[in-house]
Structure 1
């Protein structure tokens, strides 16, 4: 006869600050191997000298993946501090700043983040879970995912024109009047590395744009003499150069020639493994621009378009919608191009009223456009238009291939009291938030779903 062996209980009893809690080993294991909660599942000493009420909130977070409604009664800083003690802040971030919780149709202006000094924001950058970096004058101010923790560093730049968030504590910054791209440790306030482009004239190299994929860093450089430009590709982890694309040397052609226009916006299109590079230049006859899609592996342009009649004020590309969008600088209208049919460069489709330019006024001057998830956001003046695709179900036949008809609808986001104001200068997205800056204002607006957050 086999000896009796007691069945091991799956229930764990924990004493937190004198209050008894019971849960399961599986629930505690969700805290992760580095958390003391996971260790408690196998421990015989299960007393924690902490606040039991805060623990009850975090235990609910482990059980459901979401904070309970009673969490709103607590100070956010207390919850964050307690989550850090148990080493489960990542779960708290995920529950409050998960990009999947972004609701474009339910956004409201929830917070104004003031910046020190008199300079307006020149560039903003975000991480996936909502850490925010803002350049204003020679400074960069960072806010953590909860928007409660703020820090500012002083850079060597007079003004930062391009900014990319590499991580919550590291950013790449560049300027059109200062040589080199600087990779900055924003927590410790020092330059980790400086990346330069070795051009033929051996002059300084200014940064015109920065972009990234999951493992690559893209930098658009222009020589200090403005007679050459290039896009350098670096390994995002080691910052070692990988390749160079789009190297143009201009010999007497003048700044109005196509190669002379450096890329001022770089966006990675992951589903196509292509880099979108766009740039424009203003002269006496108007605004000239070009948009190119680069194959990084071959170093070749697989698609491009040159614009003159209604050049873009801004361009964005959406992986989710498999489309490119622009704002016409003259008409101020939003146009889109289906990337599935990009071999036909004439297929810009106007989403607006196709209004004509009146007295040469540039209706779209300074307009910004960005894509996020499956929506497109366009800042015109002080308002933000939200464009969303409506699936109509019908299909068209183009060159023997079948395509679904694409129809987009426009909405103005936010409540009436949130709209208007100074011209929008930056739009960015991180976590479940949208960030907006305006001309002449020393602050950043935080837009968030009214049903989310603490």
Structure 2
């Protein structure tokens, strides 16, 4: 029997036993549609069936039936239980709790059959369903080979690309492995998703930034910086804005560095900024940018880098105006320099983890250019620690929405701002710390990378050949 034929009368999601058939349901003027799926009768409305799109199988059902005859109810030869789940998806925009009893792939195949897979993706990877305070470790994504993850690149719909050794493994929004691509890199240190199937990848010991199509398995572009010494140009960091791609390069001889700005569509050079040549003992010019972040509200690029010497760790944070090519604000770091740094446009602040103290601090961007002093959120007594201790060494920090996430060795911390009335004084800002996860989620190897996509957080740890997926317990499929 073909999957879509005509059959007998319908109900509202339950078999019709002693119910009387309402012949008016089939009148052209009524809004109620009846369907027989796999022998089970359902009843819904025309509007509900069209919520998945105007050209889907379901949206065209009522056009193919003969409404004046109760013997011409549309029949679809598919699983009625799966259809019930998808009908709930159409009605509410979310999968019902009973969907947890089914394999996600079965639901995906069924959604593709009915032509509503886009609605399913939207319901399962909506960033608005990301609930930071309720995150729990839910899934482990294994990686092939012996190499640990070196970089994570996420997409807005919740898919993720992971570099490990010379390979990049991709998982789709449903966390199913899509592909593993072998690259020409020995190891990949920087990875950025430009689309669900295209990434920018670079390494600190291999020349050039490569634009890779992971679906088709080829290198679209290789971008290089033509430095004065004509040596190779290794990649130290990658960043992105809605129109531009930023790449921090360092010469193979490590005596010069620069940030190249490319058009995101054509990959043509737009401009070059932050070029430095090392002269004598000028260590400041020797520091390439190892983190690039676009700040939309300021229309500026934040670039940061640090340098370790016998006297300690020093670094700088600069905000660059791409149009003029000038640094409009610089924060120099010496005492308790950052182990890692992140900027939040939502919170209007730059956050760091001090390499000596291991504590979180911030500078308010509402005082842009006028205040270079850090406000500490943690234990200020640790500021006087012996610099040889370096409690923050290897710690990571990232911002997502209005939250700040910290990888403190093997544990995860969440910092959130507490709203305190209507005061506009930036010194009145208060942040509170929360531990993430259940007791069994705590601890483990040092956290090396964090990424966010859709309603998920992805975590990589040192010497582990897998990726942890953290999701809200209330939203998890």
Q: Per-residue deviation at 1:7?
A: 6.1
TM-score, structure 2 normalization: 0.89
Note closer, same or farther for the CA distance 1:395–1:166 as it changes in structure 2 (3 Å cut): same
Task: Name the counterpart of 1:214.
Answer: 242
Paired residues for 1:342-353 under 5 Å? 342-353=368-379
Residue 450 of structure 2, aligned match among 427, 430, 433: 427
Note closer, same or farther for the CA distance 1:390–1:76 as it changes in structure 2 (3 Å cut): same
Paired residues for 1:302-313 under 5 Å? 302-313=328-339
Partners of 1:277 and 1:249 in 2: how far apart? 17
Partners of 2:29 and 2:348 in 1: how far apart? 54
Residue 192 of structure 1, aligned match among 220, 239, 245: 220
Paired residues for 1:61-76 under 5 Å? 61-76=89-104
Residue 42 of structure 2, aligned match among 2, 21, 40: 21
Partners of 1:419 and 1:238 in 2: how far apart? 44
Paired residues for 1:4-403 under 5 Å? 8-44=29-65, 46-250=74-278, 252-254=279-281, 257-354=283-380, 355=382, 356-358=384-386, 360-393=388-421, 395=423, 403=426
Partners of 2:49 and 2:194 in 1: how far apart? 32
Partners of 2:61 and 2:274 in 1: how far apart? 57
- Runs of 5+ consecutive residues of structure 1 not aligned to the other structure: 1-5, 397-401
Partners of 1:67 and 1:213 in 2: how far apart? 33
TM-score, structure 1 normalization: 0.93
Q: Does 1:408 align with 2:434?
A: no
Partners of 2:232 and 2:294 in 1: how far apart? 26
Partners of 1:36 and 1:234 in 2: how far apart? 43
Query: How many correspondences in the alignment?
Result: 442
Partners of 2:28 and 2:427 in 1: how far apart? 59
Query: What's the secondary structure of 1:393's corresponding residue?
Result: coil
Q: Does 1:436 align with 2:455?
A: no
CA contact 2:203–2:235 (8 Å) conserved in 1: yes
Deviates more, 1:196-205 or 1:138-147: 196-205
Note closer, same or farther for the CA distance 1:362–1:404 as it changes in structure 2 (3 Å cut): closer
Q: Per-residue deviation at 1:342?
A: 2.1
Note closer, same or farther for the CA distance 1:304–1:76 as it changes in structure 2 (3 Å cut): same
Partners of 2:301 and 2:176 in 1: how far apart? 35
Partners of 1:56 and 1:247 in 2: how far apart? 60
- Runs of 5+ consecutive residues of structure 2 not aligned to the other structure: 1-26, 67-73
Task: Name the counterpart of 2:469.
Answer: 446
Q: Per-residue deviation at 1:404?
A: 7.4
Task: Name the counterpart of 2:440.
Answer: 417
Note closer, same or farther for the CA distance 1:294–1:50 as it changes in structure 2 (3 Å cut): same
Task: Name the counterpart of 2:14.
Answer: none
Note closer, same or farther for the CA distance 1:328–1:404 as it changes in structure 2 (3 Å cut): closer
Partners of 1:159 and 1:403 in 2: how far apart? 43
**Cα offsets for 1:307-364 (capped at 9, x unmatched):** 1121100000011111110011111111101000022233310111111213621111
Structure having the higher Rg: 2
Partners of 2:420 and 2:309 in 1: how far apart? 42
Structure 1 residue ranges, 4+ long, deviating more than 6 angstroms after superposition: none
Q: Per-residue deviation at 1:87?
A: 2.6
Query: What's the secondary structure of 2:207's corresponding residue?
Result: strand
